[in-house]
């Protein structure tokens, strides 16, 4: 079948084009992606292509479909799966079998990605349980995939007590948690989970060097709101001189039992490392496309105080199961608040370009691949060229952010992506 999709050919070479998608084979599922979330990792792959660890060297001749945060509907079920899925099922797709695997949806597969009118889920992902039914708005489905990675990062935390060689995993109950560069989409999702999940920390720190993002974070999750839950929440502007010392001092000079770093910046990682408690764990969550990117670590603390520093790059389908359980029980307050831009399939290149480390371009971007719409700030729909979509501005205002009502209205009234012509990125 002929479909349109955003495909990555080479560094800075992404094309929205029509091509032939094979029919699903036995054990495979044909999906109709409805929403696709973009983040820094999509931008990194776009910029370096096959230099990225998950993008194959064959992309110039076998381009991959982009988009790894996929929520959509089952269109067709391959032989052998009739009892598991049915056409019309709303689903989310965990993008890889495990974090150890190099293959990942949005980076590796020629026939499966979120930024496409249709996608074929490979048998290996179906058999691994990566495809799960979902009950929520499509954009919320994308954000549960972000939450799954957050849960995976927390589950991967490792602690060792002196004289014991059996590690404990997961964050310390009643401990102190540091979210460094934590006012972006992933950081806010982490804070959402920490405040509403089962971790039950005594203290939470959120740092960032962008005043606008921090102000948004304060509005979403206020210090008073956290206090009502028995959690001491502090926001610290990391651009202020002396903030590194203050970050440590507010713990009573004990440090943080569990820290996650959300920016691929050496100074941020070092700040988290310096602020770790004895026996604490620092997790580097952020994406860096530079294979030689380095940061300093304190060998004294690693040796004598048992500070563990580790990375996290994707988890397992179980993380998504836990994310869905959390979503159904607690919701995801941050999901609608961190979305700043939406667009149709034709906006994929522009959206991917804006998902860079710079914070001036906003937070989360959602692509709706079944429609045509230039990348649009959700607060600017009153200026939309398509007059039919201008009422979305009032819907956004009513809800204080993106919402199921806004999403439903957009999907019902926007032009079809079938009207899109070929679009090619301009290489630097």
Q: What is the CATH number of the domain that holds 172?
A: 3.40.50.720
Residue 262 lies in a domain: yes
* 227 in the same domain as 251: yes
* 321 in the same domain as 205: no
Total domains in the fold of the chain: 2
Of 251, 314, 283, 294, the closest CA to residue 100 belongs to 314
Nearest-angstrom CA–CA distance, 193 and 155: 13
Which of 311, 344, 363 finishes a domain?
A: 311
3-state class (DSSP) for residue 261:
strand
Nearest-angstrom CA–CA distance, 96 and 128: 9
* 285 in the same domain as 190: yes
Residue 152 lies in a domain: no
Of 6, 12, 17, the closest CA to residue 64 belongs to 6
Which of 293, 311, 329 finishes a domain?
A: 311
Burial class (CB in 10 A: 0-12, 13-18, 19+), 400: exposed
Residue 153 lies in a domain: no
DSSP letters for 311-377 = E-----HHHHHHHHHHHHHH--THHHHSEEEEEEGGGHHHHHHH-SS-STT-SEEEEETTEE---EE
Residue 201 lies in a domain: yes
Residue 154 lies in a domain: no
3-state class (DSSP) for residue 166:
coil
* 271 in the same domain as 351: no
Identify the CATH number of the domain in which residue 21 sits. Answer: 3.90.180.10
* 269 in the same domain as 341: no
* 255 in the same domain as 135: no
Nearest-angstrom CA–CA distance, 356 and 191: 21
* 305 in the same domain as 326: no
Sign of CA dihedral 313, 319, 320, 325: negative
DSSP letters for 4-38 = EEEEEEETTEEEEEEEEPPPP-TT-EEEEEEEEEE
* 322 in the same domain as 303: no
Which tokens in the block code for residue 227?
A: 């206090």
Which of 281, 311, 341 finishes a domain?
A: 311
Of 54, 53, 72, 55, the closest CA to residue 14 belongs to 55
Q: How many residues does the chain have?
A: 428
* 274 in the same domain as 178: yes
Q: In b/e form, how buried is each residue of 109-136, taking b as 16+ CB within 10 angstroms?
A: bbbbbbbbbbbbbbbebbebebbbebeb
The single residue listed with the structure tokens 């804070």 is: 191
* 392 in the same domain as 272: no
pLDDT given for residue 54 in this prediction:
87
CB 261 within 8 A of CB 283: yes
CB 223 within 8 A of CB 235: yes
* 305 in the same domain as 276: yes
CA 343 to chain centre: 17
Nearest-angstrom CA–CA distance, 53 and 277: 32
Burial class (CB in 10 A: 0-12, 13-18, 19+), 271: buried
Domain that holds residue 361: 2-147+317-424
pLDDT given for residue 355 in this prediction:
82
3-state class (DSSP) for residue 382:
helix
Per-residue confidence in pLDDT tens, the chain, 428 aa: 999 999 999 999 999 999 999 999 999 999 999 999 998 889 989 999 988 888 998 999 999 999 999 999 999 999 999 999 999 999 999 998 765 457 899 999 999 999 999 999 999 999 999 999 999 999 999 999 999 999 999 999 999 887 888 889 999 989 999 999 999 999 999 999 999 999 999 999 999 998 888 999 999 999 999 999 999 999 999 988 888 788 888 888 899 999 999 998 999 999 999 999 999 999 999 877 778 888 998 899 899 899 999 999 888 999 999 999 999 999 999 999 999 999 999 999 999 998 875 545 557 999 999 999 999 999 999 999 999 999 999 999 999 999 999 999 999 999 999 999 999 997 64
State the CB neighbour count (10 A cutoff) for residue 411: 14
* 92 in the same domain as 59: yes
User: Over the stretch 182-210, which tens digit does the pLDDT of each residue have?
Assistant: 999 999 999 999 999 999 999 999 999 98
DSSP β-bridge partners for residue 5: 17, 116
Of 287, 374, 267, 228, the closest CA to residue 104 belongs to 287
pLDDT given for residue 283 in this prediction:
96
CB 114 within 8 A of CB 369: yes
Residue 300 lies in a domain: yes
């Amino acid at each position: 079948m002929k479909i349109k999709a955003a495909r990555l050919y080479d560094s800075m070479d992404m094309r929205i084009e029509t091509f032939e998608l094979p029919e699903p084979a036995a054990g495979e599922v044909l999906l109709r992606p409805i929403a696709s979330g973009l983040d820094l990792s999509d931008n990194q792959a776009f910029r370096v292509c096959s230099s990225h660890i998950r993008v194959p060297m064959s992309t110039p001749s076998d381009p991959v479909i982009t988009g790894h945060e996929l929520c959509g509907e089952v269109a067709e079920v391959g032989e052998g799966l009739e009892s598991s899925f049915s056409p019309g099922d709303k689903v989310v797709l965990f993008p890889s079998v495990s974090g150890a695997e190099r293959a990942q949806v949005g980076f590796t597969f020629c026939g499966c990605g979120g930024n496409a009118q249709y996608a074929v889920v490979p048998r290996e992902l179906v058999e691994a349980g990566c495809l799960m039914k979902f009950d929520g708005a499509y954009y919320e489905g994308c954000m549960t995939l972000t939450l799954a990675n957050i849960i995976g990062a927390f589950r991967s935390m490792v602690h060792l007590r002196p004289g014991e060689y059996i590690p404990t995993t997961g964050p310390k109950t009643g401990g102190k948690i540091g979210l460094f560069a934590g006012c972006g989409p992933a950081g806010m999702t982490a804070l959402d989970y920490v405040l509403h999940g089962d971790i039950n920390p005594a203290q939470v720190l959120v740092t960032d060097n962008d005043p606008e993002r921090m102000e948004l974070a304060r509005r979403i999750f206020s210090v008073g709101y956290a206090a009502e839950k028995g959690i001491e929440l502090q926001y610290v502007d990391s651009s202020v001189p002396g903030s590194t010392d203050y970050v440590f001092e507010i713990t009573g000079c004990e440090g943080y039992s569990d820290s996650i770093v959300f920016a691929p910046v050496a100074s941020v990682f070092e700040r988290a490392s310096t602020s770790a408690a004895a026996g604490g764990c620092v997790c580097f969550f952020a994406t860096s496309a530079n294979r030689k990117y380095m940061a300093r670590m304190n060998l004294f603390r690693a040796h004598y105080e048992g500070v563990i520093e580790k990375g996290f790059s994707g988890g397992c389908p179980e993380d998504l199961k836990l994310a869905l359980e959390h979503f159904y029980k607690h919701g995801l307050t941050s999901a609608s608040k961190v979305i700043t831009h939406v667009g149709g399939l034709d906006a994929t290149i522009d959206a991917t370009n804006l998902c860079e480390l710079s914070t001036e371009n906003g937070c989360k971007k959602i692509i709706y691949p079944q429609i045509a719409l230039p990348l649009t700030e959700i607060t600017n729909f009153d200026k939309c060229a398509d007059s039919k979509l201008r009422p979305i501005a009032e819907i956004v205002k009513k809800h204080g952010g993106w919402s199921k009502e806004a999403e439903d209205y957009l999907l019902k009234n926007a032009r079809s992506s079938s009207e899109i012509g070929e679009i090619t990125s301009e290489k630097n």
